[in-house]
Amino acid sequence: MIYLDNAATTFPKPNSVYEEVERCMRNYCGNPGRSGHQMSLEAARKIYECRESVAELFHTSSPELVAFTYNATYALNLAIKGLAHSGDHILISNLEHNSVIRPVYALGRRGVSYGIYNAASGEDELIRDLREKLRPNTRMIVATHTSNVVPITLPIKRIGELCARHGIIFIVDASQSAGIVDINLNECNITALCAPGHKGLYGPQGSGFIIFSDRATKAEINTLIEGGSGIDSFEREMPHLPPERFEAGTLATPAIAGLCAGIKAIRRIGISEIAEHEERLRRRLYDMLANTRGFTLYGPSDTRGCTVLFNADGIGSTELSDELDRRGVCVRSGFHCSPLAHDVLGTGDGGAVRVSFSIFNTEKEVDSLYTQLKNICKA
């Protein structure tokens, strides 16, 4: 089997991830931050170690500002709904995933308005469009760092500068970039960064996080859910400080332990080495398809990234991905939960096929995919 759906979730994981999840389940899976016995404290230590790893990865020194969630969608809902108030205006890009579009749309019922800026026509156009769409009540800008559909990475440093100049909250969805692009939270003036653990960080599904800047904690951030926190038991409100404020209920300790191992693994390999490897594979497939009649490629040709989006003449995207599946190749067809991006790309009717890479993919696998595609299209 050739797995090329890594933008959805990476597979396989490094061996150390499987081993740590099992070690946790067998040896130290107490309820972290609850009891005072060794098993609970050991689980809490592992959780804290993972907070430190995440903080280091994004060049911050405050592990307590890392709150664990179950995925990036939860983290984005927390950031967007927790920081927006009635009367606020939010700007989102036209490359956002539904994990941003839907919570922003839902806030419309609470008196929050939104606009969409163009992130698909180059950096200068993006900044120009953002400036033009700013309103006096614009409180928040949300940016997917790297699109999950096409290899476009947004200039978060420039957007962050604009946010800082106008006192605007800046939320970054790093679902596709965490572990592949080096991100400095403070240099980019990011208020809150959200990411899944199970994609470029090679952790298990069920792990995700939000990391706040020091600046963010000065604002009152509303909670998404409330419940047990292991502390302040007689208070009716959630604790005021992160991370416990945002972590009601028992954490997914085995998933977080696996995430900790995943982060260690990518740091051992090196983020830039991973990016180079995936870009090499992407470029190989892109060039082969671009030089073959019968294929239409989408997105800019001169960028870097780890996704290739295409269609084949005379065959629907789902039909093509189903046929690839029958031949042992996993890719994803359709709209990839990013309807705005597909509208911009002109694939809003039938979607397209997305191929996405990880550090475990090889050139041989790319060549095999290409051969299968040619065979399917010939037939």
Residues near other proteins, by CB under 8 A = 32-33, 35-36, 41, 44-45, 47-48, 51, 63-64, 229-235, 239, 241, 243-244
Q: How far is CA 9 from CA 61, 81, 156, in A?
A: 28, 25, 23
Query: Min. distance of Cβ 172 from other proteins in angstroms?
Result: 23
Q: How is residue 53 written in tokens? A: 């790893």
Cis omega (within 30 of 0) on the bond before 12?
yes
Work out the end-to-end distance of the chain between its first and last CA atoms, rounded to an integer number of angstroms: 22
Select 32 or 200, whichever has its Cβ closest to other proteins.
32
Q: How is residue 270 written in tokens? A: 């090196």
Query: Min. distance of Cβ 267 from other proteins in angstroms?
Result: 19
Select 201 or 251, whichever has its Cβ closest to other proteins.
251
Q: What is the DSSP string of 264-291?
A: HHHHHH-HHHHHHHHHHHHHHHHHHHHT
* Tally of CB atoms within 10 A around 301: 11
Phi, psi of 91 (to 5 degrees): -110, 130
Select 34 or 283, whichever has its Cβ closest to other proteins.
34
Please give the helix or strand (H or E) that residue 170 lies within, else none.
Answer: strand 169-173
Query: Min. distance of Cβ 160 from other proteins in angstroms?
Result: 24
Query: Min. distance of Cβ 65 from other proteins in angstroms?
Result: 10
The C-alpha atoms of residue 199 and residue 4 are separated, in whole angstroms, by: 12
Query: Min. distance of Cβ 151 from other proteins in angstroms?
Result: 37
Amino acid at the residue 379:
A
Select 47 or 359, whichever has its Cβ closest to other proteins.
47
Query: Min. distance of Cβ 188 from other proteins in angstroms?
Result: 23
Query: Min. distance of Cβ 185 from other proteins in angstroms?
Result: 18
The C-alpha atoms of residue 375 and residue 326 are separated, in whole angstroms, by: 13
Q: Residue 90: which residues within 8 A CB-CB, separation 6 or more? A: 80, 84, 104, 107, 112, 113, 114, 115, 138, 139, 140, 141, 142
Select 118 or 223, whichever has its Cβ closest to other proteins.
223
Select 239 or 339, whichever has its Cβ closest to other proteins.
239
Select 59 or 131, whichever has its Cβ closest to other proteins.
59
